[in-house]
Every structure is written in structure tokens, then in C-alpha cells.
A and B are shown apart, each in its own frame.
Chain A
Amino acid sequence: MHSVVLDREGTDLVGGEAADLVVIAMPLYGHAALAIEALETAFASQTSCRIEVVVSVDGDPRREVFDALTLYAATRPELHVIFGPNAGPGGARNRAIDFIVGNLPDAKAVYFLDADNRVLPTTIETLYQRLVEAQCGWVYTNIDTFSVRWGAHYGDRYSRLTHCVSDNICDTGSMISIDVFRAGVRFDADRQNGFEDWEFWLSCIEAGFVGAPCHDTAFEYRLRAESRFKEANRDRAASVSFLRRRHKALFRRSTLVDFEHEECPRYAFLRTGDGAIGCFTDPTKPASELDFDEAIRAFWGSAAEPDNVHFPPFLAAASGETLKLLKQSRLWPNLLMHLERATEAANVVFVQIGNATAERGIDIEVQPSGYVRKGRADLVFVSSTIVRDAIQNDALGWLGSIASDQIWPTVAVVKVRFPFPGAAPKRSSATPEQSLINLVQTIATSPLKSMADRRWTWRGARLPALSELYKQLRTEVGGAPVLPLGQARDGKRTLALLVPNASFGGAEKVAFAAARELKAEGYETHLFVLGSARMDVLDEFDGAFDHIHFWKAGIPAWGGSNRFLGQDFIAEHHDIDWNALKGLLSGFDLIINNHVMAVHPLMARLRSEGARTACYLHVVDETPLRRPAGQPFAAIAHEHCYDAFLACSEQLKVYLHSYGVPLEKIFAVANAPSISVKPKMMAEIAEHRQQRAPDAPLKVLYMGRFEPQKGIDRIHAALQDLRARGVPFEALAVGGEILAEQPSSWTGKLKEIGVAVRPPVFGGREIASVLAWGDILIMPSRWEGAPLMIAEAQLVGCVPVATAVGAVDELVTDGRDGILIEGEADLKIVADLAAAVEALARDRGLLGRLRDGGLFTASGRSWAASFGAFVEWCDQAVTPTPRIVARAPRRAAQTTNNEIEVSAVA
């Protein structure tokens, strides 16, 4: 300790420099008889700092307060008193803070001392030194109360996650850096807020400050039988709800996961080969490294003092190559969620990775005890609880069988497949199973095991176990498991695009196009395939997503637990895996629901948490009895949950408006081609068409499913008629009979009349090639939205001949860039279709004009233009979750020396 000397102006000097000024701020109301005691202890502080005290009298009606303070102030130049009308504890503290910031510019820190509490002589010095050393926002102590005895240990290290999701872990009797107040942080003066102290710390966290515990000192907390704290706790739910509303950004999934990642990571990843252990929650962020020794200490420390020591609740082992591959797969965060869930169904989880060129998918099988393995695992995943149980129950042999052929723990085998270049990852000589067992054996035989059942910290634990915080996070988010992703890099906004399946349908392609445009705008894009565990790889859109997620279990494609205008919709009491859905979808900045019916009931909650929500609709379906049905009605039933609707046509926009959706909320997005054709290929196609002989048979093309909705029966009848009348044409039908509703095969019938039939094609280049073959594309559908195929046909000079259903007339202008067939009667449509084909077969000049018209129309289409208005809305409406970056006060670190410096005492 340094002694203090005074210069001529009375300024305390240490080593010739002015001592740091620490201000003790004391709000005063209702403690007239105790305040002087608090002041006495404050001025009795033994410290190298200068001390000033600011008492903020909060309209206390006791005259004793004025008399006592006046007498006291008369002898204490370092005492400042502010009198003001009653403003509540927050308001009174704010007055003191404002005074300090405005009038004591050299203050370095503020200590809040309640008027009924006391400080020890060393409290201020110890806390201030710790503040300087830790370079943190504030330093807090454990709490020991007097009068009514109570004590609390608030952890050996500070955790923002704990502070946010469990309880207030810092009393206001803490040493706070002046930087906190200079950054504008203040108490909330709202009297509705029963936890103004907790709220203040949350504001500090939000402003980027962090705390640090100091167990080397304490203050004396007077506890009586009844207190304001008790009063506030009686209405805890309301107070906590107030905090959540006031600090929405803090309670976003991404923010909390970032805290978890830094403070109590969920996963420990053991790298086979070098044995390094990386701890992380967000697999896209750098992991913290643990060596074996540290891991063992953390394991047993966590067992003995779970509130002080953290060991990740899940343990994985795999080679570095496997980890690299999984990171590249874009499935890694989603896979981790599946692994967490799988540990609830099985003791151990194996992951097997497969290379699939054209699809992605995750399949899970659970095997009973005694399972004989088929192939080695690329990755092993277990919960730390299983490891702990195995050690404590002397069941290491049981757990160790995971490295043998027959496995006695129950096993979940997670098969994940995705395209990756080259051969399967190089396997490490050490298998993941054996590496994991080695670690467990090492832990089990550590000498620390013998002392693991004893707590050495004598104050009772008041905090939840750090290793269990992931469960508190689940509760906070309202979902389980919680997507292990923190905030996006570079402050990007995040988009979640939800689809019920990801194959080659037009609705998916359009939604993918939306994601592609938003990614180009700087969004981090996530594709959620909900209700399915696979997707086809679309080369055109494969790069549109930064992450891909699947969740199949517990999410039906359709269902009705209630009705809206006679239409089914899923309500909240439906037996859906809401936990998984909420855990997946919480925390995104923008969510676009593209026909996932099960998600509608969640949207209101997601929106209230800060997400902007949009619903993408493509078509009004019809039942066999021609009742309008489908996704739009479930969406309209949840209209208030969405900030925006995207419709594929003006027609659908008006339709939605007719059901009460405000026009301003609806963006009509004209469809554009889902394929791109390079100029060279375009030139080749044009040249090929010009070289065709004028009298060559007309090439008639159909692409799509062979089903009544698409008018396959009409196509058959029209082509049969044309054949009968000897119109020269060649026909090609590309597609398949996907729906097994037809009584007989259309493939066979088409072949009977000389139509070539080919299976469906999905690659952009293949689609373009097929369209380039055809002179015309026929599409006599019974209902449609705004089919992409028309735009794609026009793009390559294939003339569309289509029924004017849905928004087809927004894509085709009859006689300019295609031919529209009006009406509903099948006979008329068949006749008109045949007539149109015949006209084009005989009049190649007309064909040429329509082709040119189509090319011209196509040249004006682009997704960028179509999504322009929506993207502009997003720019204004969607804000990224504020990034909480921990910062330290800008003060040069001072070294401390435990030794007495003689020069200071002499």
C-alpha cells in the first residue's frame, strides 16, 4: 500500500502524481438513521485513491436527513450532497452519476454504496486495484449480509450469459469504471422496473462492458427481514419480462450464442492425431484451445464446483480433415443440432459422411445396445453427462466398447451426405472412438477424481452450473436444441429462407432466387428445409446459401388443427416439434417463409423478438372439386404475423388484398428465368434455329409433370388430333409421372402417338438445351401461378403456347411473345391448342415474330429488377442485431507489486 501525501493545493499525491479519484455514490431514501454509518465507513477507507462521496437525496421526507448531512458536510469537503424530488433509486443514482461526470472530470471510477450498507476499510482499494488490473467495466464482490445472515458466491469468473439468462449476479455495490458512464450508460428510472440494478448491468453489457469478480474483499450488506429486493422478487415475472423487452438485442439467439461461445462453449472437439481440444459453440468462429491437462482439470472442477468451472456439455472426436470437410459442407451447425438431439435418444452418436454429387441430406438411425457396427465413424459425439456417469459408475468398459465391433451403449448413426470434391477425407490413424476413450480414461484415472465430490468454495453456489447453461439458453430462446450460431460476420444481416422441400419445383427456385438477391445485398443466407431431410443440388442456386439446415422429425408438410374460412391451418396446440423449430429459427433478422405451413404459428413470437417476417406465396391451388385451397389461406390466417408478403404476380397480390392483406405489405415479384444462358450458347442456339429448313417439322416441346393439373390429357388429345390431320411436327415430352394419382401411364400413351419421352432434367444447361430444341413449348395447365418455364422458354427463343390461367397472362402477351388459350372447357382448349400448333407449323413467319417477341420480353426480365422493391423494403425494415463487442476501458494497465516498495513508505 502506498501512503498518501498532500501537495499545497490539498491534492493527494502518490509518487508525485495525483492519486486516482474514486467517487462513492450513495442514493438516499428511507435510511436516515443509517446513512451516517455508511458515510463513516466510506471515509474510513484505506486507499491510495482520493475519495469523494456524492449523496443523492431522493426526496426523503425525513428532516433528520437534512440535519445530519448538513452537519456532516460542514466537516467533510469531500462530501457532495444533491437534494432532489423523489425519482426512485434509478433516478437518484443517475443524478449522482450526472454530477460526477459533470463536476468531477478526473474521476476514474464510481462505487455505489447503498445508504444502509457499509464498506470495509479495504473495499475501495481492493476493488479499484482489481478494476485497473482487469481493465474491465466493473468489479463486483460476493455478498455477505449482516443482521439477517445470507451469503452468495457469484462465481469465480464473470459470464454475460449467466447474467442475462439466470439472475442478477452483481450488486450495485460494485466498482464501476467511469468509462461506463461516459459511454452514456445510466440506470433506468422507470418505476415499473423492479430490478433497476439488473437492468443497469444489462445496459452495461449492451454497451460492450464486462464485469470481473473480486473475492478478495467484500462490502457489508445490511439485510432485514423485509426489503425492496424481496418486494421486487414477488413480481419477478413482470420485472424479468420488462428486462427482456428493454434489452431485446441482448436476448437474441445470436447474441446469447456469442456469449456462450466465449464464456461456456457447448462443444469440446477432440482432434484425433494431435489430441488438441477445441471448445466452441459457434463452429464458424475460432475455438478456444484446451490441452489435455486443462481439460481434465476442467472436467473435475466442473464436477466439484459447477458454478465456478466449466466443461463443455458435449464432447466430439474426429480428425482435422473431417472437421474441415464438415465446415465446408455448410451443414455443420445444423449437424451439431442433430447430434445434440440424438444424444437424447442414444448414449453415443456416430457420424458417417458420404459423398453425394447431386444431393444433400441427413438421416438418423438409432440402434439398440449390442449393435454390431457397419463401418467406422467419421465423428463420435457424446454428452459429458454420459462420460461422467460412466466414470462414476465404473462403466468404462461399457463405454469403451464403442471402439470395438459390438457396441453396448445405444448408438445413433447420423449419415450425412453432400457433394465434395475428391475422395472421402483422409482418416487419421487414431480412430475417433479410440481417441475419445483415451481422453475419458485419462480423466477417469486423474488424481483429481478423488476430491471431485467436495466443494472448496465455502459460500453457497447461487449460480447455475456453467455446463448447464446451454439448457438455460434453451429456456431463454424457447427452443431446443438452439442453433449454435452467433452473430454473422462483418455485421451482416441474416436471412432464413424456409422451404418444405428443396427439389426442382418452381416455387423453390423462385425462393432460392430471392435468397440469391439478398445474399448479393450482403445478407448471410440460411436455407431451412423443414419437413424433409434432403435436398437436390441445383447448380444455378447452390451458391445462394451460406448455411443449409434440415429438420424433418416432427414437422408435417400439411395438417389442420383448426380451420380458417374452411381451410386447414396448423395452430399452436398441434403436435409439432415446436422446440426444434424455435431453436432453429430464433434470432434471424429476416425470415421468409416459402410454403412451410407448420411455421406460421411461430412467426408472431419470432417477430416480437426482433425478426422481420415475410411470406412468399406462389399459387392458389384447387381441390379436385375446384375449391380454391393451398398455402395462401394459411398465410392469410396469420396475416398479422408477417411484415411483408411476396407474390409471384399482380393477380395474386390483388387476391391477397381481397382477403384483407394491406397492399403496402405485398410485393408482386415477376418471375424471371431460373436458368442463365451464356452468350456463347445463346449465339449457338440462334444460329441453329436460323439453319433450320422452313419446311422442317415443327418441334413441339412439353416440360413438366405428367399430371392433370398440367393438362397432360389435353396435350395427348391435341397431339393425337394433329397427327390425325397430318400436321408435320415432332414432339418431345420431358418429365415424369410424379404423382401416383393417374389410373394409367401417360408415358405409354404419349409414346403411342409418336411423342418422344425423356425423364426430367434439372441442370440449368440441360434445361436450356432442351428448350433450345423446341420451336414451341405447350403448357395447357388447368391452374398455374407464374410458371418459370415460360420465362425460360422465351429466354432461348422457344415460343410458349399456354392456357391463360393464374398469372400466365403476365408472362405472355398473346400474339406478341407467345400464344394464350382462353377458356376452361377441355374440348375448346384441346381444339384451340391444336389450332395454334398447326398455325405455327404452317406459318414460320408467325413463329419467327413470336420468337423475336419472346426474346425481347426475356431481355427485360431479371430477378434483380423483380426483387428490387422488396430488397429496398428490406434495407429499411431489416436491421441487423446490434453486435455486442466486449470492450475495456482505455486505461493503461498498471502493474501491481505484492512486495512493499520501500521508496513508497520512506
Chain B
Amino acid sequence: MNGRCDVNKPIKSQLEPVFPTQTKATLRMVLGGASDRAVLAAGPLAHLVTFTDELFCSDGTIRDVYPVIAVAASAAANAEVEAAIAALAKFATIPAPPVIRIERDQDGIAALIQTVLQSGLGRISNHARTMAAELVMLRRERETLFENFRVLEDAFRARNWEPASEIFAHDAFVDPKDEGIGRLMRESWVEQLLPVSSFGVSGFALHFRDVAKGAGEVIVTLDYVESGEGVAEWLVPFSDLSAGWNFFSLPKACDGSPRTLRLRVSANGAEPPSPSLGHPIASHRYAARSRSLHGDLDHRPLAMKIYAGVPGVRPTALPNSIAPSALMSGRRIEDYRLPLDALRAVADVSVSPIVPDFQTIRFLEHEDAIVCHPLPAGISAGAIANVVAPGTVRFAARATIDHPDGKPARVGFLLAPSAANLRSEIAVLEREGAARRSAYFSGWRDVVAGESASINIMLDSPIQRTMNLVVLSRAKEDSVDFSWLKVFDFRLVRHFDVEARGEAVHA
């Protein structure tokens, strides 16, 4: 690496090639005369050479051959090579390769050619590929910058600094038969496509029928349909939402190519506030939808207003402005659930000196729930193996004591590496009150009979590899009579990168 590169900021792709350096073993870059077949086929160029009699396919094309150099070990082959080069000239694309005569020092020159092509050229190729990847990234950025610059310039010239213009509105419509979709948001999410081009969108407003009573968060994500790239995410405590319109602002207006924006609204907590729906429309695609059927959603979009203008500025008519918790900038967001088969396979990894005469850990078939009954001493633990996907940043579930006379208990969750010894991890937790550095522990939360508690794990950064999920419970008081702790509504959110350049493994 020369000095010039040293002073430049390293680019990730240069330092961390996602593909192993690999030169195509069969890249045919040497053209040889058919008369030299016996000579060349036995030499170091055997796997690099294409002979003149096999150069052209029946349709007159050449395929997967890149004649950068030609060799001739005999006069006859030389003539054949020259004829082939003349024929190649008709393609206009391929420059005439230099012809190297190798009669005298056959092995030496051939070996040299082989070395240059496979070693030197291979390195250059890899470097060129890296540069190509950077080129793509830079071109895309340049396009966006040019477009944004022009928008700013136009706005500046026109002195058009309208803080936020409403570019679309669909008012709330109260149908007396509406049940509200709060429950739907808790169990799943509600999805709404925005009926405007993404370009220039700086925020949107959602209408909530009323303020929620309990504690919890509404989770709103915005992403692009066509590319799956995330735009932003809002985690809004119920208490921050007001009845009526709530403005969700973007710190940066959407730029790049015009795309379709997709809004997903979900919630955790017992009784989430319900976003209002608007009048029904004929378009199926632009109606709000959810994974589960719901009567309120029949051909009805969410009530919403969409704004363009200076980002981060609250429209004057709206009471509040909610800034995003995270800008996704290219990441995809996926809200996922645990498969039933995995829940069914829950394993008892409890660490307790007591051996109970009943099953403390089991799966409830018709409720899709895990029972984790605490014991008077130690920790009851049910492990669900390899279910937390890389990229997961949030985990949520609800828990309750499923018996009217059940004694209170404490519930918690542990995310542990796939290869970890789970009993050992739990023993550490029992002994030290904290998990090892390689694991994530939610902390303990009290649960009483007849009430359900929401448990959330928010990770500082997405997990890097697949992990086990362990449901934990322990006694809160001396007695654990009828303390049938039931955990359900498992819900996980993961982020993963969507970048313009390749990182997928196709090698």
C-alpha cells in the first residue's frame, strides 16, 4: 500500500473483502493455434489456452474466452492464430492480442505468462472489482446529492421554506361498529402503504382514537416497499401519544428514487391505543392490512396525513411532534414470531436443588404459550433452541399467572449463544445475579395472578449470531402454590442491512 492510500480514509470494502480473493481458475485468456495443441496441452498454459479450432461457436460467437494474449510454438500455429485474430476483429470489441512466439524457451515463457495471468492479473482483478463496488456506491451518492442540491437550490431561489405542506390527507372515520385495532397491533402489526411518492416526504401524522391507559409502546416503522430499505423507526410510549393527530417527523426528507413508503404500526403493552381508520376505499392495495383478519380493516386505510417540507418541523395544526428513535438508513426491519415447532420443543434447563413431582416446563398446545412454573428455590428455565435470528434488536413477550389462586412469581428472559451450556449460564445468573457477557438478561419482572405483564428486551446493538431463548422464573415469596406462570405473545424484531453492493455469498 502506498502513502497515498494511507492518508485516505479506509473504505470498508477494501479492508474487508466479503468475497475471498479468487481468480477464476478456468478463465481462458490465451489463444493458441490448433497445430500447437499437443505442445501447449502438456505445458503450464493448458488450462488457460483456447485453441483456434474451438474458439468460435457454431453461431459465430465466442463464449467465456478472453484472449488477452496469443502464443504460437510453430509457424503453422502462428498462421492459425493470425487468422483467428483477424476474424475476431469483426466483433469490434476485442483488441488484437499480441502474439508471443515460444518455440525456443517454451517452458520459461509459458510459465511466465501463466504467472502473470494467474497471479498478477488476479490481484489486479480483485482490486478492480473493489473499485467497481466503490464506483457504484459513489455514483449513487452523487446522484442523490445532485438531486438534493437542486431541490435545495430551487427552494432557496423561490424562498419557499414552507415548514411542512400537507400533501395527502385521509380523515378519520368512526364507524359505530368499529372494535378498534389496538389488539391487532399488539398481536401483530398493521401495515399501510402511503399513497404518495416517497420523494420529499418529511413526516406523517396518525390519528389515535383515544389515549391508552396502561403502559407500553407504540412501534412505528417506515420503509420502502421496492427495496425493503428501512427509513426510520419510532418507539413511542403510550403516554407520549395524544388523542387525535400525532405527527411523526423525519429528520431528513426522503430522497433518492421515488418509492412507495410502507408504514407498520405495532405495540406492546396490555391495551395499546388504537389508530383511527378512514373511510373505506375501493383500492385493496392501499387499504390497511394485517396478518390477521379484522373486520375494521375491510377496505379501510389508516387515517393519516402526509407532509413534505422542511424536515423536523411540526405542522402548525398538529399538537405534537415525535422524532424517530432510530434512522434505519438502508436497513431492513423484520418483525417475526417464534415458530410453533420450536416452542413445542422447549427443553427444561432449570437449575434448582428441588426435584418437583410435576412438570414445571411445558408447551400449551392451544395457547401457543410456555409454562414455566417457579420452584421455591433456584431458577426454573425453559430453553427454546436457536430461535433468535442474527440482527435481532428487540424481544417482547407477555406473562401471567394462569391460576386465580396462584402465588406471585418473577419472570425473566435470557438470550444465550447457541453453543453455550445453558445450565451453566443459568447457574451463573443464579449465583451472581447477572448473565455472562456473551448473553443478554432481561432482568426480573414481577407477575401476579390475573394480570399480564409485558417484558421487553432492547439490545444496544443487533445480535451477531443465532441465539437460544430461555424463559426463566423464580419464586417471589416463600410459596409458589399454583404459580402457573404462562409466557406468550413472543415477538422479535430484527434489523439487517440492505446495501447497494453485494455481500451475499454466491461464490
Show the binding face of A for B, using Cβ within 8 Å: 4, 6, 10, 12, 36-37, 39-41, 43-47, 50-51, 57, 59-63, 65-66, 68-78, 80-86, 95, 98-99, 103, 118, 120-122, 141, 144, 146-147, 149, 151, 156, 215-218, 220, 297-298, 300-305, 308-309, 447-448, 450-452, 454-459, 898-903, 905-906
Judge whether A98 and B93 touch: CB under 8 Å.
no
Which B residues have a C-beta under 8 Å from some C-beta of A?
19, 21-25, 27, 29, 59-66, 68, 88, 90-95, 121-122, 124-126, 128-129, 132-133, 135-136, 139, 143, 194-197, 225-228, 257-260, 279-283, 285-286, 291, 299, 301, 334, 336-339, 341-342, 385-387, 389-390, 418, 466, 494, 498-507
Given contacts A82-B63, A900-B336, A902-B339, contact A72 B132 (CB under 8 A): yes
The answer on a CB contact under 8 Å between A74 and B502 is: no
Asked if A80 and B22 make an inter-chain contact with CB atoms under 8 angstroms apart, the answer reads: no
Bound-state CA distance A62–B339 (Å) is 55
Chain B: CB-nearest residue to A451:
B281
Which single member of A41, A61, A99 contacts B500 (CB below 8 Å)?
A41
Counting from the closest, the 3 A-B pairs by CB-CB distance are A301-B282, A44-B502, A906-B386
Judge whether A74 and B23 touch: CB under 8 Å.
yes
Query: In the complex, how many angstroms separate the beta carbon of B282 from the nearest chain A beta carbon?
Result: 3
Compute how far the CA of A305 lies from the CA of B287 in the bound complex, rounded to whole angstroms: 14
| Contact between A144 and B227, CB atoms less than 8 A apart | no
Q: Which residues of A contact B135 (CB under 8 A)?
A: 36-37, 40
Sample of 13 more A-B contacts, CB < 8 Å, known A144-B259, A905-B389? A36-B135, A44-B499, A66-B94, A74-B27, A84-B59, A85-B60, A122-B498, A149-B258, A217-B226, A308-B283, A448-B282, A456-B283, A906-B389
CB distance from A10 to the nearest CB of B (A): 7
Measured CB to CB, the nearest residue on chain B to A298 is B282
List the B side residues contacting A118 at CB < 8 Å: 136
Q: State A769–B66 Cα separation when bound (angstroms).
A: 92
Pair A309/B282 contact, Cβ less than 8 Å: yes
Known: A75-B129, A77-B24, A448-B282. A66 touches B93 (CB 8 A): yes
Taking CB atoms, residues of chain B closer than 8 Å to A218 are: 226-227, 257, 259
Q: Are A300 and B282 in contact (CB under 8 A)?
A: yes
Given A121-B227, A146-B143, is A72 in contact with B128 using a C-beta cutoff of 8 Å? yes
Closest to B17 in A: A75
- Identify 12 residue pairs between A and B in the complex whose beta-carbon atoms are under 8 Å apart, listed by A's number: A4-B505, A6-B507, A36-B135, A46-B504, A71-B124, A81-B66, A82-B63, A120-B500, A298-B282, A304-B281, A454-B281, A903-B342
Distance in angstroms between the alpha carbons of A41 and B66 in the assembled complex:
23
Instruction: Assess whether B66 is in contact with A66, with CB atoms less than 8 Å apart.
Output: yes
- Distance of B370 from chain A, by nearest CB (Å): 15
Which of B93, B129, B280, B501 sits near A448, CB closer than 8 Å? B280
Partner of A81 from the list B63, B129, B336, B387 (CB cut-off 8 Å) is B63
User: In the complex, A456→B128 CA distance in Å?
Assistant: 45
Given contacts A80-B64, A146-B143, contact A63 B95 (CB under 8 A): yes
Interface majority SS on B: helix, strand, loop or mixed? loop
Inter-chain contacts of B225 with A (CB < 8 A): 215-217
Q: How far is the CB of B385 from chain A (nearest CB, A)?
A: 8
Q: List chain B residues, Cβ under 8 A from A217.
A: 225-227
**CB <8 Å contact, B336 and A72:** no
Name the residue on B nearest A94 (C-beta): B59
Please name all residues of chain A whose beta carbon is closer than 8 Å to the beta carbon of B25 when the two chains form the complex: 77
Asked if residues A452 and B282 are in contact (CB atoms below 8 Å), the reply is yes
Contacts of B291 in A (CB 8 A): 898
Which listed residue, A71, A84, A147, A447, touches B125 by the CB 8 Å rule?
A71
Closest-by-CB residue of B relative to A86 is: B92
Known: A4-B504, A51-B506, A73-B24. A301 touches B125 (CB 8 A): no
The smallest beta-carbon distance between A140 and chain B, in angstroms, is 13
Nearest-neighbor residue (CB-CB) of B173 within chain A: A447
Do residues A61 and B93 form an inter-chain contact, with CB atoms below 8 A? yes
- Tell which of A57, A73, A118 has the most Cβ of chain B within 10 Å: A73
B63:A120 contact, CB within 8 angstroms: no
Question: A114 → chain B, closest Cβ, in Å?
Answer: 16
Given A71-B124, A120-B226: A900 and B132 within 8 A (CB)?
Answer: no
Closest to B389 in A: A905
Let me know if B22 and A77 touch, CB within 8 A: yes
In the bound complex, what is the Cα–Cα distance between A95 and B341 (angstroms)? 48
A83 near B93 (CB under 8 angstroms)? yes
Which one of B88, B342, B504 lies within 8 Å of A902 (CB-CB)? B342
Residue ID in chain A nearest B385 by CB atoms: A906
Within the complex, the shortest CB–CB distance from A24 to chain B, in Å, comes to 11
A40 to B501, CA, bound (A): 6
**B92 touching A78, Cβ below 8 Å:** no
Query: Which of B194, B226, B507 gathers the greatest number of chain A CB atoms within 10 Å?
Result: B226
Return the chain B residue nearest A906 by Cβ: B386
A852 to chain B, nearest CB (A): 75
Contact present for B387 and A82 (CB under 8 Å): no
Task: Judge whether B197 and A151 touch: CB under 8 Å.
Answer: yes
